[in-house]
Amino acid sequence: MSAILQIKDLRKSYAGGFEALKGVTLDIEEGEIIALLGPNGAGKTTLISTVCGITTPTSGSVTVGGYDIIDDFRDARSLIGLVPQEIALEPFERVINTVRFSRGLFGKSRKDDVVEGILKKLSLWDKKDNQLKELSGGMKRRVLIAKALAHEPRVLFLDEPTAGVDVELRKDMWDIVADMKRDGVTIILTTHYIEEAEAIADRVGVINNGELLLVEDKARLMQQLGKKQLDVQISTPIDAVPDSLAGYALDLRDPTTLTYSYDVRAERTGITQLLGDIAEAGLQLKDVVTRQSSLEDIFVGLVQEEEEAKA
Amino acid sequence: MNWTAIRAIYIFEMARFFRTLLQSFVSPVISTSLYFVVFGAAIGSRIDEVDGVSYGAFIVPGLILLTVMTQSISNASFAIYFPKFIGTIFEVLSAPLSFVEVVIGYAGAAATKSFIIGLIILVTSFFFVDIAIQHHVAMLLFLVLTCISFSLMGFIIGIWAKNFEQLQLVPLLIVTPLVFLGGSFYSISMLPPVWQTISMFNPVVYLISGFRWAFFGLSDVPVGASLAAIALFTCACLAIIGWIFKTGWRIRQ
């Protein structure tokens, strides 16, 4: 695979001196889904806005399909589709006309079969003659996606596509994103929802305070950074961890549950020894459960580490 | 030049115009008719002729320009302000478009709307007064140039405005007084000498004078000066718009 989007040392400063992007460098491969995670004000939307031409970069370079977003802005932008965070639509316009408008705006000739295909794929065909103000919030989000896809882009930016939508619609959106990936569209999405990144992304990037802290293959990230926990349930409640088990840094979650954290990458996890020592300490085992850290744990950990490092 | 995109913006904007037919067409016809009733019939009955032209006919060019100027500004400023207000401007900014194409699309549609309204007012006036237009081509040229230049001005106002109040501010406090004091309803020669001199600093005087010349062969200022004034005004608007897009002032962060 080759990089369809290349961001090099991208910086954005505002007049007041606020630095929204502090030298972001990122390559995105064609056909992948990358999720950018970050708290509010991390710089996610600024990054997207800069690549899409809505915000002017202070320095650095961005190429899309090999085209520079400043020097070859026409070629670069024609490859990009953008679904914004806010629902921004002309309320009195009809669904089909607003999608046709978007296609025309990107210089593509009117092709009713393409527009029909997009509307059908997004379950909007039966609403094509409705005014946008008549649609529900979820349907409006679908229209925004239809507008972004109208000119058949190769790269699609989804800025918090499921913010404020119900669980069912969120799952629908994930199916739509999966469909688009099957069609070969490269997708960059920003999200607050870790489960969203976990469910649909191939790679995950963590951004905070305008800096890209990490970009990693999702599965590898989970494997590399994910710590596993072993919950050992015992039959008799205890008040404190026995002294003989002090070397394991056990956490007494409740009077009958001891939690042991271990690294999956380690050669020896120490589980066999622990279970033996627990029995030797006179505690009777009732059950054992293992849990893997979620992406959310990893994300919170990374952001906290950065905040602590700066403090 | 991305003509497909220009066409898309143009059609989108014209569709808005035709969606509100009552407001677009009927409103200017009614206001013009009222002007004819008040100024033409009531006041005009006390003024026989101005430079050999009946007062009712004399005010027609001024009335057309009054509406065309305000409509051009209003249409163009709203066309670009509304997407800013509701957030849909992101689509235009992220599209593969140059500022020239954006302006042609938006200001072109606004100018077309004003041109149509100008023609409607002209046709309406035929029901009230007898008019024989002397220079048809010049009349259309002045009308088109006025529609374009004031649409460009409206576009600037739409970019500048931060709220609906500011959107109305310039048309209400600057343009309308200039048009009313620009000889829409009288000849500058009817004013005392001091006011005649002051009026020469009003750019609208040149536009109305040139337009009236196309109708009746009468003008307060030389036709060349009128053409130069409108050309200068258009160039100034284009220069400002060029600067806006180059710097991204109030549209691109």
- Chain A residue numbers with beta carbons less than 8 Å from the beta carbon of B248 are 56
**Subunit contact A82:B7, Cβ cutoff 8 A:** no
Q: Give how far the C-alpha of residue B140 lies from the chain's centroid of Cα atoms, to the nearest Å.
A: 13
pLDDT digits (tens, 9 = 90+) for A25-52: 999 999 999 999 888 888 888 999 999 9
Best-predicted range by mean pLDDT among A149-158, A218-227, B27-36? Answer: A149-158
**Subunit contact B96:A104, Cβ cutoff 8 A:** no
Burial of A163 per CB tally in 10 Å (0-12, 13-18, 19+): middle
Token pair in block for residue A34: 């990358």
Is residue B186 within 8 A of residue B50, CB to CB? The reply is yes
| DSSP assignment string, A97-151 | HHHHHHHHHTTPPP-HHHHHHHHHHTT-GGGTTSBGGGS-HHHHHHHHHHHHHTT
Please report the pLDDT score of residue A226 as a whole number: 61
- Least CA distance to B102: which residue of chain A? A105
Token pair in block for residue A63: 């190429």
pLDDT at A225 over 80: no
- Least CA distance to A93: which residue of chain B? B16
- Chain B residue numbers with beta carbons less than 8 Å from the beta carbon of A109 are 4
Q: What percent of chain A has pLDDT over 70?
A: 95
A151, A146, A140: which is closest to A179 by C-alpha? A146
B214 vs B67, B134, B138, B230, B233, CA distance in Å? Answer: 18, 6, 6, 15, 20
CA B82 to chain A, closest CA, distance in angstroms equals 9
- Chain A residue numbers with beta carbons less than 8 Å from the beta carbon of B83 are 90
A265 vs A204, A223, A259, A274, CA distance in Å? Answer: 20, 8, 19, 18
- Chain A residue numbers with beta carbons less than 8 Å from the beta carbon of B96 are 73-78, 106-107
Segments making up each domain of chain B, as ranges = 3-247
Token pair in block for residue A141: 């989000």
Please report the pLDDT score of residue B168 as a whole number: 86
- Least CA distance to A148: which residue of chain B? B91
Domains, chain A, ranges and CATH? 3-223 (3.40.50.300), 227-292 (3.30.70.1560)
Task: Work out the number of other CB atoms within 10 angstroms of the CB of residue B32.
Answer: 23
Sheet bearing A211-217, strands edge to edge: A80-83, A155-159, A186-191, A33-37, A203-208, A211-217
Residue B48: helix, strand or coil by DSSP? coil
Inform me whether the C-beta atom of residue A1 falls under 8 Å from chain B C-beta atoms: no
pLDDT digits (tens, 9 = 90+) for A282-300: 888 899 998 876 667 777 7
Please report the pLDDT score of residue A162 as a whole number: 79
Quote the ipTM score. 0.84
A72, A60, A78, A64: which is closest to A30 by C-alpha? A64
Q: Which of A105-109, A175-179, A233-237 has the lowest mean pLDDT?
A: A175-179
Is residue A123 within 8 A of residue A142, CB to CB? The reply is yes
For chain B, 253 residues long, the average pLDDT of each consecutive 10-residue run is: 91 86 78 80 73 83 89 91 89 90 93 92 87 90 93 93 87 84 84 86 89 89 90 91 83 71
- Chain A residue numbers with beta carbons less than 8 Å from the beta carbon of B97 are 105
Task: Work out the number of other CB atoms within 10 angstroms of the CB of residue B151.
Answer: 31
Inform me whether the C-beta atom of residue A106 falls under 8 Å from chain B C-beta atoms: yes
Of the candidates B9, B19, B253, the beta carbon closest to that of A55 is on B253
On average, the pLDDT of chain A sits at 87
Inform me whether the C-beta atom of residue A49 falls under 8 Å from chain B C-beta atoms: yes
Task: Work out the number of other CB atoms within 10 angstroms of the CB of residue B110.
Answer: 31
Residue A201 phi/psi, 5-degree rounding, is -85, 150
Q: What percent of chain A has pLDDT over 90?
A: 36
